[in-house]
Amino acid sequence: MMCSFCCSTRPAFSVRKSAEEMFDVENSMITATFSACTGTMQYIMRKSDDLGHKVGLKFMTYSTGSWSNPFKDKSGAYIFMPDGPAKNMEVKYPNMIVVKGVVATSVYTYLPGVVHVTTLYNVTGPVGAGIHVDNTVDLNKDSWNNKELVMRLVSDLDNPNSDVCVDLNGFQMTRKQWRAKQLIQGNFHPVNTMAYIQDNRRSRLTLVMAQAHGLASLNFGWLEVVLDRRLMQDDWRGLGEGVSDNTATPSKFVILLEHRDKPLIKTKLPSTHCRPSLLAEMTSEHLNNPPVVTLSHLEISTLADHGFHPLLETSMPCSLNLVNLKTVEFGADQSSVKALMVLQHAGVDCDFSEVHMQCGMQSKLQTKLFKATRVWTAIEMSLTATQVKNPTAVRELEIPEMELRTYKFTFS
């Protein structure tokens, strides 16, 4: 463990104090370079192809109001109206701790109002391919009055027209273009799970998130998200008060630097079509649907005797996501169970082949793959399961790309 302010004489870790201006944190896939002056990441390099890009992370603030015109509208609960560009948080050499272990290496940075943690996991698979960022933001002080905190990524990627692709609802993405005639607030967009920018060559910078945020790309190579805001006035939109009940707010992100297998094909007209890579899609699933881990004293060999059965013989294809599975009714003699299963087939960009795991890409799922459970029937229903869409029982579930399908299963 390295730290900039260690004082314990008998620590539980092997501790050494570091005075390095720049230092690296790495795993088997990527290397991230940090600055002790700013306390944040500055550079990312991929080890598979030695592709490196400047990716600087900054915390900045927007303020609101105008001393020259006190009657001018200000930001409020529903309105984002900054009084100018974001300003840097003037903090040099913040307290930092670097914790290195077998499973992960984490960099803890203590900034005003923010505990910023950056982690690289020493594992194989999609989890190890990204840089995991955890922020805990607490703006519950008067010094944050009428300020809005953003996290900005400043990279050397030259995304044309400052284009940014953002997801609409966690299921599809659309392209947004920076408009010079719009004010700062007019170039912010809502984003739920991920956004990315890419250059005209082969590089793409993806920001995957676990919470919804406001996001913008205000310059070439920039990505910024709003983390929290503390506003002291009503914006005349019905709430009748400001936003001043701030509490410690967590936010989770994963930063992915990806490399396209072949150069991007240039077209005369820019397309609004956007698709994430399969790696980004799986990272988003990991971040937004983490596994629920439980403990049991039962032996693995006795799980079947207690009613624990794996649902499938093999893993589902990587592009198929289980959105929901719930029991709807039992048979009269309790010999059968009916359940609703909602599946989504994610649309991904096939020019990015890196997944870091064995992965099937088929769009079909056969009912015979259900293990230790016999499927009597599988009927396609409407999305809300209120109507039968196809009364014929199917043995093979086929979900087109970018679509959701609901099936009603009868298990024996």
**Could you tell me the two tokens for 72?**
């001018």
Q: What is the pLDDT along the chain (412 residues), one digit of tens a residue?
A: 566 656 555 566 788 888 889 999 999 999 999 999 999 999 999 998 888 999 999 999 999 976 556 667 789 999 999 989 999 988 899 999 999 999 999 999 999 999 999 999 999 889 999 999 999 999 999 999 999 999 999 999 988 878 999 998 888 899 999 998 999 999 999 999 999 999 988 899 999 999 999 999 999 999 999 999 999 998 888 999 999 999 999 999 999 999 998 877 766 555 668 999 999 999 999 999 888 888 877 776 676 665 666 677 777 888 888 888 888 876 565 667 788 889 899 989 988 988 888 777 777 777 766 665 667 788 888 988 889 988 877 778 888 888 899 988 887 6
Predicted confidence at residue 329, as pLDDT, reads: 73
pLDDT of residue 113: 96
Token representation of residue 190:
């809502």
Where does residue 400 rank: exposed (0-12), middle (13-18), buried (19+ CB within 10 A)? exposed
Smallest Cα–Cα separation from 35: which of 25, 21, 19? Answer: 21
CA distance 374 to 395: 12
Given a contact cutoff of 8 angstroms between Cβ atoms, the answer to whether 87 and 148 are in contact is no
3-state SS of 281-327? HHHHHHHHCCCCCCCCCCCHHHCHHHCCCCCECCCCCCCEEEEEEEE
Q: What is residue 262's predicted lDDT score, i.e. its pLDDT?
A: 82
According to the model, what pLDDT value does residue 369 have?
Answer: 64
Q: How far apart are CA 220 and CA 97, in angstroms?
A: 32
Confidence (pLDDT) at 174: 92
pLDDT of residue 331: 57
Q: Give residue 384's pLDDT.
A: 85
Residue keyed to tokens 């190890």: 128
Residues 6 or more apart in contact with residue 202 via CB below 8 angstroms: 259, 260, 261, 262, 263, 264
pLDDT of residue 391: 80
Compute the distance between CA of residue 26 and CA of residue 107 in angstroms, rounded to an integer: 11
Q: How far apart are CA 340 and CA 406, in angstroms?
A: 7
pTM of the shown model: 0.89
pLDDT value, residue 31 = 97
- 86 contact partners, CB below 8 Å, separation of at least 6: 60, 61, 62, 150, 152, 224
pLDDT attached to residue 53: 94
Residue 136 and residue 228 in contact, taking contact as beta carbons nearer than 8 Å: no
